[in-house]
A and B are shown apart, each in its own frame.
Chain A
Amino acid sequence: MFGWFVKGATSRVRTTRYPAHDETAPGVTPGRPVETTCDNELLAIGLAATCPTGAIKPAAFKTTADISRCVHCMACTRGENTMSWQADYRWAKWVGDNARRAARHRPFRKSLHIRVVDTGSCDAVLSEIKQLVKPYYNMHRLGFFITPTPRHADVLMVAGPVTSQMRLALLKTYAAMPEPKWVMAVGNCAISGCVFAPSFIANGSVAGVIPLDVQVPGCPPPPLAILHGLLLLTGREAEMPPVDQPLGGTP
């Protein structure tokens, strides 16, 4: 055991410095397509057609990208005409009405207790949530904790397209949480059902079942994006900061 103590004590601190500083290590995020100018409308329509999930919408002389539908298949980066790719991760955002947000914004500023509910997610989303409590992201330093019981939870983190067999459990978990409570949808399946919608067995979105407050898009969203969502809830980070310099090239 002493050997492990030494091992632990002599290991380098690897925790990211986000949110104090940007995380610039390679491979922390798959990035996302962003608004791209096109020479003409035809090209824009052609570019939009490469997207299998309809995340890219053509407009006059440009295409817009909806991150909450993007599944990171990168089909739009392979043709002659490509989407611009932004390797950031601060893409969590508020949803729901503003009054609700204002009413809910006050109670928590520092610490949050989180109950994670898996409503049919792929393993990857849960794996990324798991990374949050692990050395590289260590959200405990920010006052965020995972709790096993919804009775102690402030935030309900939902992953997966809300299958009908999990709906009851989700509702019960939400009901078991004390007020005030927030709901966070993690991953595109929880937001829109992703590739699993429309479906006979999955509701396709958390918002259709319980009131949603924050969504973290991504397939799966990288840990930093989830962290951004949590910071957003406590008011310690702003929503979608303006695009600054790209952190890496297109892959």
Chain B
Amino acid sequence: MTKFPSSELRNFAEQCQSFGPVEMLPQSDSLVAVVNCPSEVLKSLAEFLVHSLQYNFGSLVVEAPPNQWKLIYLFYGRENPSLVQLWVYLKSDHPRVDSISDKIHSADWHERQAEDLFGLVFTGHPRLGDFVLHEEWPEGVNPMCTGFSATHPVKEQVVDPAWRPARILETPGAFLMPIGPVYADYYESAQFFLETVGEDVVRMIPRFFFKYRGVEKLAEGQPWQRVLLMAERFSGTSAIAHSTALCAALEQIYQIQPPPRALGLRLILAEIERIRHHFAVLSDICHASGMSVPSAQMDILEEQALRLSGQCAGHRYLYGWVTLGGLNRDMTLTALDTIARETQLLAKASATIHSALQFTSSFLDRFEGVGAISAAGARELALVGPIARASGVRTDLRLMLPYGPYAQDTGFLAMTEPLEQEGDGYARIRVLFAEIQQSVKLIDATVAALPTGPVRVEAGGVRGQSAFGWAEAPNGAAFHYVRLDAQGCVQRYQIATPSFANWHGFHIAAENFAFQDFPIMMASFGLSIAESDR
């Protein structure tokens, strides 16, 4: 038990015993508690973690049999830097487990996803089915199960003519406004049903996974190099974050540590990515409220950030940099200087726009009080990233579970962490602007203190089996779970993305609103569907 420096984690380890035959596994270390948890104890233990110890539900990883089902419930601490994994084993012929989502709302979509993809049954979950796989997918075929071919196309079933999307608004004259999957201009494909009785929208029901590409299934059996290509490309606007998270997991399995220069460069790249992402979101926000000049100004900054990436990193979306053990290549001094200089300029320009927007009443009118999420709501749904921070909830993984370069951080992040309390559209805008400034300062400090040396260490053989890696993507916390075989081929890969977590919470913001506010709310969330759908 002395393994845990964190007092909460030690407490937890002691308290675990009171719930039943719970066993602390040797995989635990100073940061991670791995607990073998019988399925009967799961619910009470998870509830204790989330409601008493202030943990967030992070991910539900399922390992399909041949031998037995293994479910890993991942929790991460909001208050203390630690991870808890609850391992639940089920007999291969008995794919049933109690749903925890009636107590832990944030587990809802994770369970639905596992039900669709693995055919696991979560008893007590009120709303299973029609989630990842839509109505044309053949009944009873679970693509993530072993034995299902990742490359062989599936014969679609004939859709039952009586099939229709669910509705929950029961009042005479209520109707749905369908949006999508192909809707305005160049937005990503998703479907939103706005339930309304005219004028005001009572409730929004989203349907996602139109873009489901099955990244996790495609990864199975592939060498990690190939999986890394997918991790970069499934959500192209957060390529660095997801490749860093995957490589962090791989590095734990190979038990290597990237050299300091590589870590510093990873930070620089990740922050450039964040800046560009925030510029794009802010541009969309201005565009949604009809502010064409501010929108165009943000567009200019976004393209400048893209060109900066293209010029200094060779790719506008920073593909091809992060790899196992560090980076694929080094960055020249000139390039680093350019980055430091240019990002300063971008920060200055964005600060000017921010201060001008603060005095544009027609802009503020559209965002103040729109799509508000309370801190309690954000905690209940385990929201992450700028959206949670705008509601006053600290969820920055760079601070909470410092990884890679951020592990050396000496309080700068905590000091400059942007937190707002209102949780409305305007609070989210302020958080985005503040994060841009924060990122630029980080880049500046890192460039100045960047050590020299190699940017990559060679990996030896595979030492471990599976690991979690994580990163704070522009949208929030991303967790990658990977299990390798001895040859370095991926056996199981699972991604929990920030957009997935936040889309789940979108409905509490999109409730009882005026129809014309819908694009505004969408824009102020700034989420990616590619990232959520995988």
Contact = CB atoms under 8 A, between A and B. Distances in A.
Interface of A: 1, 3-5, 7-8, 11, 14, 25-31, 52-53, 71-75, 78, 115-131, 134-136, 146, 148, 150, 160-161, 163-166, 168-169, 172-173, 194-196, 198-203, 219-220, 222, 251
Contact of A200 (B151, B225, B310, B311): B151
A199 B151 contact: yes
Contacts of A169: 181-182, 189, 210
Size class of the B contact interface (CB-based, 8 Å): 35 or more
B153 interface: yes
Interface string B306-331: 11111111111101100000001100
B158 interface: no
B149 to A, nearest CB: 6
B234 A201 contact: no
B430 to A, nearest CB: 19
User: Which of B133, B310, B328 gathers most chain A CB within 10 Å?
Assistant: B310
A8 B293 contact: yes
A164 B317 contact: no
A131 B328 CA distance: 28
A165 B136 contact: yes
Contacts of B294: 4
A74 B313 CA distance: 11
User: Which of A5, A120, A166 gathers most chain B CB within 10 Å?
Assistant: A120
Interface string B28-57: 000000000000000000000000000000
B320 A72 contact: yes
B230 A148 contact: no
A71 B236 CA distance: 12
A150 B189 CA distance: 15
Interface of B: 133-134, 136-137, 143, 148-154, 156, 181-189, 209-215, 217-218, 225-226, 229-230, 233-239, 280, 283, 291-294, 296-297, 299-300, 302-303, 306-317, 319-320, 328-329, 356, 359-360, 362, 528, 530-531, 533
Contact of B211 (A5, A128, A135, A160): A160
A116 B225 CA distance: 32
A135 B320 contact: no
Contacts of B214: 199-202
A70 to B, nearest CB: 11
Given A123-B236, A163-B213, A220-B236, 15 more contacts: A8-B293, A26-B311, A30-B319, A52-B226, A75-B320, A123-B530, A124-B237, A125-B236, A126-B186, A131-B306, A134-B300, A148-B185, A196-B230, A200-B151, A200-B153
Given A134-B296, A200-B154, A201-B154, A122 B356 contact: no
Contacts of A131: 299, 302-303, 306
A117 B454 CA distance: 43
Contacts of B320: 72-75
A30 B315 contact: yes
Contact of A122 (B187, B234, B308): B234
Nearest to A132: B186
Contacts of A161: 213
B474 to A, nearest CB: 10
A123 B303 contact: no
B152 A73 contact: no
B307 A27 contact: yes
Among all A-B residue pairs, the 10 with the closest Cβ atoms: A124-B236, A27-B310, A251-B314, A122-B236, A27-B307, A27-B311, A134-B299, A26-B311, A8-B293, A123-B237
A161 B153 CA distance: 13
Given A119-B211, A136-B299, A199 B236 contact: no
B213 A117 contact: no
A74 B329 CA distance: 10
Contacts of B184: 148
B167 to A, nearest CB: 21
14 contacts: A4-B293, A7-B293, A14-B300, A71-B319, A161-B213, A163-B213, A164-B136, A199-B150, A199-B214, A199-B218, A200-B153, A200-B154, A251-B313, A251-B314
A165 B211 CA distance: 7
A194 B185 contact: no
Contacts of B183: 148
Contacts of B143: 200-201
B212 A163 contact: yes
Contacts of A117: 182, 189
Contacts of A31: 314
B320 to A, nearest CB: 4
Contacts of B209: 165
Given A28-B307, A118-B187, A7 B297 contact: yes
Contacts of A75: 320, 328
Given A146-B185, A200-B148, A73 B230 contact: no
Nearest to B186: A116
B351 to A, nearest CB: 14
Contacts of A30: 310, 314-316, 319
A194 to B, nearest CB: 7
User: Which of B183, B307, B308, B356 gathers most chain A CB within 10 Å?
Assistant: B307
Contacts of B188: 118, 121, 123, 126
Nearest to A222: B316
Nearest to B292: A8
A124 B360 contact: no
B315 to A, nearest CB: 5
A214 B294 CA distance: 34
A1 B530 contact: no
Given A26-B310, A71-B319, A251-B314, A199 B181 contact: no
Nearest to B332: A251
Contacts of A53: 229
A196 B218 contact: yes
A1 B362 contact: yes
Contacts of A122: 233-237, 530
